[in-house]
Amino acid sequence: MTATTTMTATTTMTATTTDPGADPAHGADYRWESEHLDLSAYLARIGYNGPLTPDLETLRGLNRAHAAAVPFENLDIMLGGAIGIDIGSLQAKLVRDRRGGYCHEHNTLFGTVLDRIGFRVTGLSARMLFGAEPEALRPVGHTILRIEIDGADWIVDVGVGGKGPLEPVPLADGAESRQGGWTYRVDRSPGGWWMLSVREPGGWFTLYKFTLERYYRADFADHNYIASTHPRSPFTRMVVAQRNGPDVRYGLAGRTLITTPADSEQREREIDPEELPHVLRSIFGLHLAEWQERELVRVVAEAPDGQELTGGD
């Protein structure tokens, strides 16, 4: 899979030495937990054996490999478990146990990996729009990454289920990036927000908007707690699993299995609750303990009809 990028502007804000996150004199809380990362285990998990030079080729390769290997899911929340985004928890779940996660897990792990390799990584937080008008006000809380390479900035997001990019997207007004069968675009809104959109049959679909304010692991931990415990969070109300591919995407929201090819219409079907373990294994690569599968079957069987995921955070 290759990406074709059109850039119509290249001016972005860059971090300066006045930014505490860029100053090594500040404490460990300001930095990624890179020293505790088992990089070899992570690379084996995603099946990546390419170069590790901190350049655009490496970034694209790692981004594609992560998207292909690590699914988006909220199963631990539906099983009554807590979600940790410290590096120990992330490595245990996403690497050792070969599970998936949602944005705070994916992008915190990926940001740590990129920092360890030598990329300049800044954490950002976006406001999910998922098709709403750019002026709509949504709470901040979707973790994304900004990567600076040779003076150019890129947005990286391995944590948007169902519609997320498979490769870096240039942080430049009007920049488009073709990735497999999908096309993404970055724009500036009249209000000064940056926005990421994906092209759909009906036109551009805005995923989220954001500023370049730096966020830290402490911020992501608060956002993660809200997403994993708040009763109005979609991730506390239904089973969710998603996998983004270059030509077709799969999503599960409650009992609804959604297949979205890049070149044809989206298809949906309702699965029987007893099908759930097979669907999780065969489509999303999620292999759970028997007791976990039994509990998720019960959760899905008892869930109300018509559940719908309105955000892919």
> Which H or E run includes 280?
helix 276-282
Length, in residues, of the chain:
313
Could you tell me which of 170, 77, 69 has the C-alpha nearest to residue 110? Answer: 69
DSSP type of residue 224: H
Question: Which of helix, strand or coil describes residue 187?
Answer: strand
Instruction: Show Cβ contacts of residue 88 under 8 Å, excluding neighbours closer than 6 positions.
Output: 36
Instruction: Catalytic residue, from 76, 115, 153, 157: name it.
Output: 157
Q: Which residues are paired to 5 by β-bridges?
A: 177
Asked if residue 251 lies in contact with residue 163, where contact means CB atoms within 8 angstroms, the answer is no
Q: Residue written as tokens 């830290």?
A: 216
Q: Is 157 a catalytic residue?
A: yes
Q: What residue type is 225 in one-letter code?
A: Y
What is the sign of the dihedral through the CA atoms of 156, 144, 242 and 169?
negative
Q: Residue written as tokens 């003076």?
A: 151
Q: Is 103 a catalytic residue?
A: yes
Q: Give dist(CA 130, CA 294) in Å, integer.
A: 32
The torsion defined by the Cα of 106, 107, 109 and 115, in degrees rounded to 10, comes to 160
Instruction: Show Cβ contacts of residue 139 under 8 Å, excluding neighbours closer than 6 positions.
Output: 127
Instruction: Show Cβ contacts of residue 291 under 8 Å, excluding neighbours closer than 6 positions.
Output: none
| Distance (Å) of CA 231 to CA 1, 91, 238 | 39, 27, 11
C-alpha 227 chain-centroid distance? 14
Q: Give dist(CA 86, CA 75) in Å, integer.
A: 18
Instruction: Catalytic residue, from 115, 142, 187, 219: name it.
Output: 142
Other CB atoms within 10 Å distance of the CB of residue 129: 23
Q: Is 313 a catalytic residue?
A: no
Residues with a known catalytic role:
103, 142, 157
